Structure 1
Amino acid sequence: MKHPLNYADYPAIVSVPEARARGASDYDIRSGRNFPPATWGIRFDGTAPTEFPIPTWADDDWIKEAQVLLALAHRHPGVVACSETAARLFGWPLPRSIGRDSLHLATSDINKRIRRRGVTLHRMRTLRRTAWLGLPVLSPLQVFSQLAAVSSVDSLVKMGDAAIGDWKSPTQFSLEDLAKHISGTKHLRARSKLLSAFELIREDVDSPMETDLRLWAASRDLPEPVVHPAVYCPTIDRTLNPDLGYPKVKLALEYEGDHHRTSEGPWAADIDRVNALKAAGWTVLRVTKSTNRRQFERDIRQHLGLQ
């Protein structure tokens, strides 16, 4: 299974009357002992946990945000996670400029109010609700549209590559879905930015570093490299797919993260991979976050005959 899940026991979410029915005393309610507060009028009951699926990449902050979302949805039926909150739950790579200081919720009730510090409520006349790992969230296409107003085109492309690919979570929408959404939605904010991002989003991308590298090449007026070109390697009788490449000149671009260097297994596999590509007649240029990009550009231009 490409996207295995872990499972965590979330405390049951109960209203104050429900907590009293479970045996909570007035002292328990006031002090938070045994029934700690989740939000106003809602308590967590750790004695009656419910098993929930969580992604293997989820950290403690992800779990905490998911639990608070469930508590607020219990207190305010019909609300869903949206904007950057939903994007974090989806596993999309958000730009650093977007913090975690607020839980973003959406409702179709234009008269709805939630007066709670750290909660931002968005009122939407058209709200498409979906479930993500048991969590109430806005549809990924609507989330993507919301983020266009607060993200650069490059950041949107990285999020789009993540949503359309399956490098961290299963595919959440297709390029065709996105095109229909942009053309078929009236009064769409940041439509021009969404259209610009749409032109640059590619399928089958494995990581935001690959997207960064592809966008960097475009910014240097280099031809756009192919995402994961298929290379048959006779020495291992397998087809490999380097991160990016120029098949006509047999040039592969491989991004190496720190885990490749610090973990013996991935490092050895990378060496075998590069050797197999070289034996197949390909040149492999490896790049890290510390690579001198000017020299890297010169190397690419030389191989492409652009100098």
Structure 2
Amino acid sequence: MTRSLTPLPTALGTHFSVAAAADRGVKQGRLRAADLETPFYGVRMLARDVADDDEPGPEEIMRRHAHAYAPRMREVDFLSHCTAAAVHGAPLPFVTDPRVHVSTVRPARAPRTRGVIGHSASPTVPVVVVSGLRVSDPAATWATLGESLDVPWLVAVGDYFCRIWREGYGRPNAGRQSLATPSQLADAVNSCRRVGAAKLRKALHFVRCDSWSPRESLTRHLLVTNGLPEPVLNNDFFDENGGHLACLDMAYPKYKVAVEYQGRVHGVQYSRDIERIERLRADGWIIVQVSSELFNEPGVLIRRVHDALCARGWRG
């Protein structure tokens, strides 16, 4: 007969310090139970049972570990680097290192413990609170990512931070303030010596304010760095009668060529996307649809866009 576990006090939440649990009468044996993980010394968090088809992405893993570390944070500590980017909601590539980046304002010593990468930080680094966590602000965070990300992903994260939520046909959250501006990213890069500064400055040249997803950013960077013209991003287009055709991910209006990244969609949204593409084609547009499979064949993708533009008179 399996013995049931004693419920934990709800006030502890999903992550808590051992000391806080002891203050609420939780016994040491309960803290060693299988439903709890030990991400850091002196900290416990509820184990997450994840189905095979519901694996968390790198951002979610980092956010979970960031919140788990919160009970250990001091007033001189803040989250930084990839951990701060994840807390800000930025897209990140697949990573195998789940350790939490913690920066500590000098002259205090950075933490040195299992599961943590400690950094020494200047008192001038701007710090904000997001979801209850002290983190470096978006621009300062982006300027630390030259250590770990390549140029295309630096562009994608920069695009995320600098997105302007413009008014438009059916657009959500119009008027929401962007998290950063390109000039703020540049100021952060130039504020001190940076690891990966050359990559950051190269990426900054490609950061735009109208990209809506990391795949759009990565696709655009691939196209323009391989000799193709820069597309306009997420503009609304209408037919000759004023009817709304679509808001296109990437478009070359002069040539009526569009590049659309197609994620995994099903049901009603899939049907709507088919109808939208058909309306555009009926209006004379050439649509290059980018699937995850095509994205993994960059040479084929570049050639398709090149051929579509040439068919409409572009001479690169």
Q: Same fold (TM over 0.5)?
A: yes
Map of 1:61 onto structure 2: 61
Alpha-carbon distance change, 214 to 26 in structure 1, aligned in 2, over 3 angstroms: closer
Map of 2:16 onto structure 1: 13
Q: After TM superposition, give the deviation of residue 112 of structure 1 in Å.
A: 1.5
| 1:176 and 2:162 correspond | no
Q: Is the 8 A contact 2:45 2:68 kept in 1?
A: no
Map of 1:204 onto structure 2: 210
Q: After TM superposition, give the deviation of residue 70 of structure 1 in Å.
A: 1.5
Match of 1:216, SS state, is helix
Map of 2:3 onto structure 1: none
Alpha-carbon distance change, 295 to 26 in structure 1, aligned in 2, over 3 angstroms: closer
Map of 2:6 onto structure 1: none
Map of 2:151 onto structure 1: 153
Map of 1:105 onto structure 2: 102
Q: For structure 1, which segment, 58-67 or 84-93, has the greater mean C-alpha deviation from structure 2 after superposition? A: 58-67
Cα displacement string for residues 72-124 of structure 1 (whole angstroms, at most 9, x for unaligned residues): 22xx333221111122222323244x433411111103342423212110111
Cα displacement string for residues 193-221 of structure 1 (whole angstroms, at most 9, x for unaligned residues): 22221110111211121112211211321
Match of 1:151, SS state, is coil
Map of 1:300 onto structure 2: 309
Alpha-carbon distance change, 204 to 45 in structure 1, aligned in 2, over 3 angstroms: closer
Alpha-carbon distance change, 296 to 223 in structure 1, aligned in 2, over 3 angstroms: closer
Map of 1:248 onto structure 2: 254
Q: How many pairs align? A: 281
**Of residues 121, 124, 139 in structure 2, which corresponds to 1:124?**
121
TM-score by length of 2: 0.75
**Of residues 132, 136, 139 in structure 2, which corresponds to 1:141?**
139
Alpha-carbon distance change, 36 to 283 in structure 1, aligned in 2, over 3 angstroms: closer
Mapping for residues 217-232 of structure 1, pairs under 5 Å: 217-232=223-238
Q: Is the 8 A contact 2:80 2:101 kept in 1?
A: yes
> What residue identity is the alignment partner of 1:222?
L
Gaps of 5+ in 1: 1-8, 47-55
Match of 1:122, SS state, is strand
In angstroms, what is the RMSD of aligned CA positions? 3.4
Sequence identity percentage: 23
